[in-house]
Structure 1
Amino acid sequence: MRPRHASRDLCRAREFEAYVAGAGGRLLHTATLLTAEAPGDNPHARRLLIRALAHTYASWDRLRGDDPYEVTRRYLAIRFAHGVRHRHRGLLRSRPLPQSPLARLSPRERLVLVLRFHEGVAEERTAALLGLPADRVRTICHRATAALLDPPREPAPAVGGAGVAPS
């Protein structure tokens, strides 16, 4: 390897390291929300993030002014959506946190909700990213929001006990 190439590769690696140091935590949190895993036990979210970061690193020299965070987030969402369609790939065999409100949502609802509210992606951009009409994204978002704000109620306990006669 020529010294000039080694120097360029070292500079590229340092830039990417700085990027990951700054954005890695937020991207991992986003991946964890998508997979609905517990924050401390999120192997599928980590695998999803590693794939997205590897993709970003591979295309680092071709970004030319593109936001690397946007590129990584887009790939993260696409890989997650692809995993939803191809469940046998393992991305959805996560261990959702039972108390997590996101665990009751479908993967598509989680994806739309996380992109719209956690990541702040506009409805039209979310629709374009997922290949859905904007009206469909709006409907999914409203349904998911309603499910989070008004969770299903547990059945009421039985009134009266056995052996109690009505008066």
Structure 2
Amino acid sequence: MRERRESTLADRRAREFEAFVAGAGGRLLHVATLLTAESPGHSPEAQRLLVGALAEMYAEWDRRHDEDPYDRTRQELVTRFARSAWRLRRRARTWDAGADAGVLVRLVPQERLVVVLRLYEGVPEEQTAALLGLPVERVRAIGTRAVSVLRSTRPPRLRAPTWRDAS
């Protein structure tokens, strides 16, 4: 009887977690892809980060009754990215930022964290500062600098065809 009850609880837990991943997995993968600055079609580092964050969330699933699982998983994702960012930065020095690169590739990891949390996820400055362990003023400065870098890096303009080119 006890084994049957435990089996039922495990099945319910698995179904709940599967429903969570089905609903939030795509958005969380997009967040991870933005953080790692990989292309959306090929993002092995982002997938690795997300699998680790989801595994941690699954391990804590029963203990997180009052917390939003999306927020908790995003926190874990951000923490894992921050811990591994030094490897990504070192690899980026030798990596050709060509067509495979993501939009945020020109930003350093800390700038990417602030831009993704503040602009893409809509996390308030105070919460972003607390999550990253930085003062609010520093988060504001990092965000301002990152946005100015993004605005200054426009794709090259295409030259309009002239009559000579058309012939």
Answer yes or no: is the 8 Å Cα contact 1:32–1:42 preserved in 2: yes
Amino acid across the alignment from 2:112: R
> Structure 1's 12 and 119: CA in aligned 2 closer, same or farther, altered over 3 A?
same
Would the aligned equivalents of 1:31 and 1:46 in 2 still touch at CA under 8 Å? Answer: yes
Helix, strand or coil at the partner of 1:104: coil
Q: Which runs of 5+ in 2 are unaligned?
A: 157-167
For residue 105 of structure 1, what is the amino acid of its counterpart? L
Q: Percent identity?
A: 54
Q: Which residue of 2 aligns with 1:46?
A: 47
2:33 and 2:40 in contact (8 A); partners too:
yes
* Mapped partners of 1:9, 1:59: distance in 2: 13
What is the SS of the residue equivalent to 1:2? helix
Within 5 A, what are the aligned runs for 1:1-167? 2-85=3-86, 87=87, 93=91, 98-99=98-99, 100-151=102-153
- Normalized per residue, which structure has more helix? 2
Q: Could you tell me which amino acid in structure 2 is paired with residue 51 of structure 1?
A: G
Cα contact 1:96–1:103 (8 A) shared by 2 = no
CA contact (8 A) 1:48 1:91 kept: no
* Matched AA of 2:52: R
- 1:97 Cα deviation from its structure 2 partner: 5.7
Give the distance between the partners of 1:4 and 1:91, measured in 2 at CA: 48
Q: C-alpha displacement at 1:93, in angstroms?
A: 4.0
Structure 1 residue runs of 5 or longer lacking an equivalent are: 155-167
Report if the CA contact (8 A) 1:77-1:111 is conserved: yes
- Matched residue type, 2:11: L
Q: 1:96 to 1:130 in 2, by over 3 A?
A: farther
> Do the aligned residues in 1 keep the contact of 2:38 with 2:46 (CA within 8 Å)?
yes
3-state SS of 1:105 partner: coil
8 Å Cα contact 2:89-2:109 kept in structure 1? no
| TM superposition score normalised by structure 1 | 0.83
The DSSP-based 3-state class of the residue aligned with 1:12 is helix
Return the alpha-carbon distance in structure 1 between the equivalents of residues 91 and 14 of structure 2: 33
- Give the Å deviation of 1:84: 1.9
C-alpha distance in 2 between matches for 1:58 and 1:126? 25
User: Deviation digits for residues 100-121 of structure 1, max 9, x if unmatched?
Assistant: 4311110110111000011111
**Structure 2 CA distance for partners of 1:96 and 1:31, relative to 1, 3 Å:** farther
TM-score normalised by L of structure 2? 0.83
Greater radius of gyration (CA)? 1
Find the aligned partners of 2:48 and 2:85 in 1 and give their Cα distance: 15
